[in-house]
Chains A and B, each alone.
Chain A
Amino acid sequence: QKEVEQDPGPLSVPEGAIVSLNCTYSNSAFQYFMWYRQYSRKGPELLMYTYSSGNKEDGRFTAQVDKSSKYISLFIRDSQPSDSATYLCATTPGTYKYIFGTGTRLKVLA
């Protein structure tokens, strides 16, 4: 079993839709959770960073962590074509060692 599982997609949605991206993890020692956005031929860009269970909001983006289920989500409201990218979840137990998911490819259709 991989430490972090993520559906690779691709996921296609119409402009304006709410997007839900998800990851599961296996190790309860993981305490910190991140979402990265990666455009084609670019390095990953940090979007959201959370520690505790619950929700964290930043503009159109909401990160949700459920430690009891070992499940993390990223919601994108009012999705735009410019949101089309690969979204990577990542986690760490706090030791500076990060485990990344495989990434979900998202395409927002105009």
Chain B
Amino acid sequence: EAGVAQSPRYKIIEKRQSVAFWCNPISGHATLYWYQQILGQGPKLLIQFQNNGVVDDSQLPKDRFSAERLKGVDSTLKIQPAKLEDSAVYLCASSSNLAVHFGPGTRLTVT
């Protein structure tokens, strides 16, 4: 079974610029998550999709972050404009039961 794919793996941008991350979940997984992991902390949920509908986006900073999951498969997460505190690893994950499988993450550095 192929795992969760993410791209890019690394991104460096200046503050106030925009950036987008892409995720392809494990085939057949209806639930897709975006997490933010700051160094030394556990993953923090940003948004959860069930198929192409949003289940939970309560911790998504909606003034600058947006996410979509078209056709219930791939997903993109966008940040516009980026702030220094957005420097983190952005993890995409998917699940079909009660076990979550993570992708390798995108390491974002905002300078």
A49 and B41 contact, CB distance less than 8 A: no
Q: Pick from A8, A44, A90: contact of B40, CB below 8 A.
A: A8
Give the contacting residue for A49; candidates B42, B45, B99, B104; CB below 8 A: B99
CB of B41 within 8 A of CB of A94, answer no
Contact across chains for B43 and A100 when beta carbons are under 8 A apart: yes
- Given A43-B105, A46-B101, A88-B42, verify A96-B95 contact (CB < 8 Å): yes
Report the bound CA distance from A76 to B48 in whole Å. 32
Contact of A96 among B4, B40, B42, B55 (CB under 8 A): B55
Q: Is the CB of B100 within 8 A of A98?
A: yes
Interface size, A (range): 20 to 34
Chain A residues near B45 (CB, 8 Å)? Answer: 97-98
Interface centre among B33, B43, B101, B107 (most CB of A within 10 A): B43
Contact of A101 (CB < 8 Å), options: B33, B42, B99: B42
Inter-chain contacts of B41 with A (CB < 8 A):
102-103
Q: Write out the residue numbers on chain B whose beta carbons fall within 8 Å of the beta carbon of A94.
A: 98
Greatest chain A CB density within 10 A among B4, B40, B99, B104 is at B99
A41 to B44, CA, bound (A): 17
For the complex, what is the distance from the CA of A43 to the CA of B105, rounded to whole Å?
Answer: 6
Taking a contact as CB atoms under 8 Å apart, the answer to whether A46 and B100 are in contact is: yes
Cα A110 to Cα B82 in complex, Å, equals 42
Question: Would you give the shortest CB distance from B71 to chain A, in whole angstroms?
Answer: 20
Residue B56 is within 8 A (CB to CB) of chain A in the complex:
yes
Is A44 within 8 A of B48, CB to CB? no
Residues of A within 8 A of B33 (CB): 98
Binding site for A on B (CB under 8 A): 4, 31, 33, 40-45, 48, 50, 55-56, 91, 93, 95, 98-105, 107
